[in-house]
A and B are shown apart, each in its own frame.
Chain A
């Protein structure tokens, strides 16, 4: 495949698409698919065939506002329809060229206006199983440009210049990581994509892998060229069967187009990717545990150093990045490092995809520039907490993150600001809670998660999370004492400071952040045997008192 051939494919697709008067894009991501989007698509195809106009009906990845699904977008007018089902197909086809179908109209301007789409630029515009669709939207152009016009060093330099930081949660500078692996000695190196999205409440990586799989593969290939690797692994959760099948199809298509394999674009560069299935272990998101899992062993972390950059998979230098990090690479190469650097806040560049869920009007995927205020995400993009309830907290970073209260919503989203507030950026889960959520119970929920997911290798995490869970259960039952609270705080610092890996080191965060901002709820539970949100069952305590 050469650049000319790539451009020819893009041209062919555009010519083919121009034959149609209208395009009807049907979102078939999990949320919409679970509400009959497949039947809807069939009905639209049938209605389009019966109509006089030339209409292309296309299946696409996630369009974003999942709570309004199933979603349909009609182009070129860019009309978005919500809650569409198969019975609406004829009305939609009939309305083409005329006024929109009134009952399906979706007015979400405020939802989209503040978003900037880099990672999700193709979401809703391409069929994830068609490589040609991706190529028509500048897909693989970055890879071929890199191979023919840039040196590996030049690529590393461009990524460094962009200021991109790891999107898996830690926020380590990507350029620095790449340059460490590139400089590491050895002929055999690996690139690994961490698609083990174990953080409950987050589904950004799933949507990217399912909706735009080639973007991840292209990012990995560019990374491989930059660091000198010839083999890559995508580690995907087994709980995401659609992502696995889309990636498998994408890899096959890429090989068929000679975008993977030997002598890509008639250069000496060889690269191929293998998929590895996770098996339901949250700890495998930690890079050394992930490596153990790819090697077919129990996913237990190892002390670092040595870092995977010098000794990773089978002892070889290994570059590990998250799905969203790789998804940012092609646009950075295409548009230049400065373009990316100019987006975002002072120390957090570019955009971030968040999975907005919980007690909020518009749930779904959003992509926002770094530095945007939490309030803008929740109230404007998310449409706020549904009427009748009030906002209490927003949880970011999953089990490693924390709960941010209402009075801190005017802080801009960045790695450092979230850390300062006692939470973390994490992979991008953002769960909104209202007055019906008990913060002690939320803390208990996360500690239970960490306790179950602790691999058991180091004692602070294995025993500490179990003890914290016992203490929190007592407080939730109404049988806790103020001594328990003191013990809990003490344990938090022990577990945080002495655990081996990120899981244990961050496990106390949900407890610490709720203690910091919602201490009164803990006190209510302990002193007054009262759960302000009415979630915890205090019967045990009442019996003791009686």
Chain B
């Protein structure tokens, strides 16, 4: 057993060396980097899952398992955290993502109609990706651009005072490509 000392929260505790990286993929090194920076402490679980999601786009069984083993967190707890927080997704995102904000200001200005129009156009429900993997339709709780409601994010770019036509045009461009 490869045992080494590691400064963890609450003092020096013996820690089993982390498991090998799941594959040659360089992104695992970035994930490992986040854990190392935090001394492989258990409280780095959320930080590490953020790194996984920003590197791979989503969390899958392999990544949750790898992070849980590395941080000595029970698998149930890691899975619990991954599913508790809305920001984490267990499904790979589409090539493009349109996120409609459904915060209060956007709701008052008709965000529900925008969502319905996009759902109808893409034949999917919010939170889903088109079968060809081109477009994901997401709904955000609030992106903090309330003064320009209603707001949508097209591949991360904020579009304020967005109209149904604008969203449909954008979807047209993505699905035609």
Using CB atoms and an 8 Å cutoff, list the residues of chain A in contact with chain B.
30-31, 33-35, 66-67, 69, 197-203, 206, 238-240, 276-282, 293-299, 314, 355-359, 363-365, 395, 398, 429, 431, 433, 437, 442, 445-446, 449, 455
Does A398 contact B50, Cβ atoms closer than 8 Å?
A: no
Does B46 contact A277, Cβ atoms closer than 8 Å?
A: yes
Q: A34-B160, A277-B47, A395-B104 are in contact. Are A298 and B81 (CB under 8 A)?
A: yes
Complex: chain B residue closest to A362, CB-CB: B147
Which A residues are CB-close (under 8 A) to B55? none
Complex: chain B residue closest to A314, CB-CB: B9
Contact residue among A200, A277, A281, A449 (Cβ-Cβ distance under 8 Å from B84): A281
Complex: chain B residue closest to A35, CB-CB: B160
Does A66 contact B148, Cβ atoms closer than 8 Å?
A: yes
Contact residue among A240, A395, A433 (Cβ-Cβ distance under 8 Å from B144): A240
Complex: chain A residue closest to B147, CB-CB: A66
Which B residues are CB-close (under 8 A) to A449? 141
Complex: chain A residue closest to B10, CB-CB: A314
Does A279 contact B142, Cβ atoms closer than 8 Å?
A: no
Q: In the complex, A356 Cα to B46 Cα: how many Å? A: 33
Q: A34-B158, A279-B87, A398-B104 are in contact. Are A201 and B145 (CB under 8 A)?
A: no
Which B residues are CB-close (under 8 A) to A433? 108
Which B residues are CB-close (under 8 A) to A395? 104
Complex: chain A residue closest to B87, CB-CB: A280
Q: Per-residue CB proximity of B30-46 to A under 8 Å, as 1/0? A: 00000000000111111
Does B86 contact A280, Cβ atoms closer than 8 Å?
A: yes
Q: In the complex, A398 Cα to B142 Cα: how many Å? A: 11
18 residue pairs of the A-B complex, CB under 8 angstroms, read A34-B160, A35-B148, A35-B160, A69-B148, A200-B142, A201-B104, A202-B142, A203-B147, A238-B87, A239-B144, A276-B46, A279-B86, A281-B86, A295-B42, A296-B41, A357-B149, A363-B148, A398-B104
Q: A201-B104, A314-B10, A359-B108 are in contact. Are A34 and B43 (CB under 8 A)?
A: no
Which A residues are CB-close (under 8 A) to B144? 30, 197, 202-203, 206, 239-240
Most buried by A among B42, B50, B81, B144: B144
Does B142 contact A297, Cβ atoms closer than 8 Å?
A: no
CB distance from A153 to the nearest CB of B (A): 30
Complex: chain A residue closest to B78, CB-CB: A296
Contact residue among B50, B81, B158, B159 (Cβ-Cβ distance under 8 Å from A238): B50
Most buried by A among B50, B85, B86, B104: B104
CB distance from B120 to the nearest CB of A (A): 15
Q: How large is the interface on B (under 10, 10 to 19, 20 to 34, 35 or more residues)?
A: 35 or more
Which B residues are CB-close (under 8 A) to A200? 102-105, 107, 141-142
Q: Is B166 in the interface zone, CB < 8 Å from A?
A: no
Complex: chain A residue closest to B143, CB-CB: A239
Q: A299-B85, A433-B108 are in contact. Are A203 and B46 (CB under 8 A)?
A: no
Q: Is B21 in the interface zone, CB < 8 Å from A?
A: no
Contact residue among A69, A276, A293, A429 (Cβ-Cβ distance under 8 Å from B104): A429
Q: Is B27 in the interface zone, CB < 8 Å from A?
A: no
Does A445 contact B147, Cβ atoms closer than 8 Å?
A: no
Does A357 contact B9, Cβ atoms closer than 8 Å?
A: no
Does A67 contact B147, Cβ atoms closer than 8 Å?
A: yes
Does A201 contact B105, Cβ atoms closer than 8 Å?
A: yes
Q: In the complex, A293 Cα to B107 Cα: how many Å? A: 28
CB distance from A47 to the nearest CB of B (A): 25
Q: Is B65 in the interface zone, CB < 8 Å from A?
A: no
Contact residue among B77, B105, B146 (Cβ-Cβ distance under 8 Å from A297): B77
Does B46 contact A239, Cβ atoms closer than 8 Å?
A: no
CB distance from A84 to the nearest CB of B (A): 15
Q: In the complex, A314 Cα to B11 Cα: how many Å? A: 12
CB distance from A83 to the nearest CB of B (A): 12
Inter-chain pairs besides A198-B142, A296-B45, A431-B105, 5 sampled, C-beta below 8 Å: A201-B105, A281-B85, A296-B73, A296-B81, A395-B104
Does A357 contact B80, Cβ atoms closer than 8 Å?
A: no
Nearest 9 Cβ contacts at the A-B interface: A200-B103, A66-B147, A279-B85, A201-B104, A280-B87, A280-B86, A200-B142, A296-B45, A357-B105
Q: Is B28 in the interface zone, CB < 8 Å from A?
A: no
CB distance from B6 to the nearest CB of A (A): 16
Q: In the complex, A357 Cα to B148 Cα: how many Å? A: 8
Q: Is B69 in the interface zone, CB < 8 Å from A?
A: no
Does A239 contact B87, Cβ atoms closer than 8 Å?
A: yes
Q: Is B140 in the interface zone, CB < 8 Å from A?
A: yes
Does A282 contact B88, Cβ atoms closer than 8 Å?
A: no
Does A297 contact B81, Cβ atoms closer than 8 Å?
A: yes
Q: In the complex, A34 Cα to B101 Cα: how many Å? A: 14
